[in-house]
Amino acid sequence: MDLKEAREKFIEAWGAFGSAWGINRSMAQVHALLLISHEPLSTEDVMEQLNISRGNANMNMRALIDWSLVRRVLKSGERREFFEAEKDVWKVATHITRERKKRELEPLIRLLDELEDIPGATAEAKSFRKMTHDLHDLTTRLDTLLDHSTRRDVQWFVKAATTLLK
pLDDT tens sequence for the chain (166 residues): 899 899 999 999 999 988 877 788 999 999 999 999 999 999 999 999 999 999 999 999 999 999 999 999 998 888 899 999 999 888 888 888 888 888 888 999 999 998 888 888 888 888 998 998 999 999 998 888 887 777 766 666 666 666 666 6
E strands of the chain, at which residues?
Answer: 41-42, 70-73, 82-85
Alpha-carbon gap, residue 30 to 79, rounded angstroms: 21
Element (H, E) at 147: helix 123-151
pTM for this prediction: 0.76
28-40: per-residue pLDDT in tens?
Answer: 999 999 999 999 9
- pLDDT value for 147: 79
